[in-house]
Amino acid sequence: MRQSEWIQRAYKVLPAGNFGNFESSVVICEAKGSRLWDADGNEYIDLLLASGPMILGHGHPEVVEVILEQIGKGTTFFANNPAGIELAEVICDAMACAEQVRFLSTGGEADMYAIRLARAFTGRDKIVKFEGGYHGMSSEAQMSLAPEKRVDFPNAVPDSAGIPAAVRQDVLIAPFNDSEVTASIIEAHASEIASVIVEPMQRCIPPQQGFLEFLRDICNQHDIVLIFDEVVTGFRLAYGGGQEYYGVVPDLCTLGKLIGGGFPLSAVAGRADIMSHFDKAKVGSDGFLMQVGTLSGNPMASVAGLKTLEIMRRPGQYEKLRQNGSAIQQHIHQSLNEFEIGHQIFGEMSQFDLIFADQIVNDYRDSQSGDATIMTRFLRELRKNRILKSPTKYYISLALTEEDLSQIGEAIRQSVKALVEVV
């Protein structure tokens, strides 16, 4: 069946014609290594990586082998299983903050429970979240996720319909990388704040020197739980995540994407005294945080995650990942410089973004300052040149070959050239 027919069928049964994650104009039928094929048989190089998890590429033979073996043994149990227990051990070894782990199925769920856990632990209600920070789809996380309206800090703007007005009162919004304003917000409400939740690299905006250290100190000072959302950065920036890469240890972290090896699995991990609120025997009825999930600790996801992380531990993997990212960044710079188009790349080598602006990106507002019209055209051209990527991120995999990298370079050059011809 042709792609256009699939698209028509999708529009009938799916709101907006899609699953809510990616736009409706492409229907992916197959993926292998660094490549994807749509329903018309068009081949793409994958820089979307299923929004992050496929760091090894699609259908890695060693991952496929453990998945096939696990299918024969059972796909889900709603009970402890060896793979899940082992994965929890691997997470505790890898993540500096992790003494214990609770598994969930999605990153957003992990963030929601991490926030609730901080509330259970501190007995306080308010949280501090950064403007533009992404923590899934809970009511709290939807506050000032991608606000079009500029309001004064710490006021929160809901980015979704259907959120009770009362939620706004408990979410204080701060500017990422601005210690002064963040400190004044925290100090004004310290005794009511349960947690500060932050992506150690917010979307693709790296923390400025000292910002995460400042958050660590101020949270210590006021007994506030510091949560690093490492759903993206965990095992990607470094094996030990953003907390290893930037050298700051939170109280809790959330993980997703890579730890399920392409299957639905996420986790809250952190200090045992905080995690004990998942254990009624330790904290009693009043402190107990009820949490149950049908697929939590799913063995299929756990074996895929375990194998993915084992492969990531092999020597040279992070160097290779960063080299791949660096090669793509160089291609972008070269082509845009050649045609004298002002731009900024921000992020780290394993994951970054581009804007058409001269300004260095330090926070959400800076990240919105680029020329959106040129970006829309550029993204359209990249797609025409058979690069599949999210509108806001370049996700780098280990599956990229030298041939892929030079093909990406050529696709970027052609896309930039097309931009110039239109302008």
Ligand X SMILES: Cc1ncc(COP(=O)(O)O)c(C=O)c1O
Look up 229 and say whether it is catalytic: yes
Span near ligand X by CB under 6 A; candidates 107-115, 147-155, 340-348, 361-369: 107-115
Pick from 44, 113, 134, 394: which binds ligand X (CB under 6 A)? 134
Write out the binding residues for ligand X, residues 7-26 only, by CB under 6 A.
none
Q: Which is nearer to ligand X, 91 or 374 (CB)?
A: 91
Catalytic (active site) residue 257: yes
Question: Would you state the structure tokens that stand for residue 151, as one six-digit string?
Answer: 């309001």
- Of 204-263, binders to ligand X (CB under 6 A) are 229, 231-232, 256
Kindly write out the interface string for residues 160-199 of this chain, putting x where it contacts ligand X by CB under 6 A and - elsewhere: ---------------------------------------x
Which range touches ligand X (CB under 6 A), out of 73-81, 128-136, 214-222, 326-334? 128-136
> What type of residue sits at position 297?
G
Structure tokens at 13: 């049964």
Q: Report CA-CA distances (Å) from 286 to 54, 270, 278, 279, 282.
A: 41, 21, 12, 11, 11
| Residue closer to ligand X (CB basis): 205 or 412 | 205
Q: Is 53 in the site for ligand X (CB under 6 A)?
A: no
Which CA distances in Å does 93 have to 44, 86, 87, 235?
A: 36, 11, 10, 12
> What are the Cα distances from residue 118, in Å, to 134, 200, 221, 224, 394?
18, 18, 16, 8, 32
Catalytic residue (choose from 134, 318, 364, 394): 134
CB of 146: closest distance to ligand X in angstroms?
A: 12
Strand blocks (E) in 92-219:
100-104, 126-130, 171-174, 193-198
Sheet with 394-395: list strands edge to edge.
344-348, 351-355, 394-395
Count residues near ligand X (CB under 6 A). Answer: 14
Catalytic residue among 46, 111, 178, 229: 229
44 carries an active-site annotation:
no
Answer for which of 135, 307, 389, 413 binds ligand X (CB under 6 A) is 135
Q: Which two tokens stand for residue 239?
A: 């094996």
- If DSSP states are collapsed to H, E and C, what string results for 330-372? HHHHHHHHHCCCCCEEEEECCEEEEECCCCCCCCHHHHCCCCH
- Asked whether 164 and 139 are in contact (CB, 8 A), the reply is yes
> What residues between 267 and 286 interact with ligand X by CB under 6 A?
none
Name the residues annotated as catalytic. 134, 229, 257
Residues contributing to the site for ligand X (CB under 6 A): 51, 106-108, 111, 134-136, 199, 229, 231-232, 256, 266
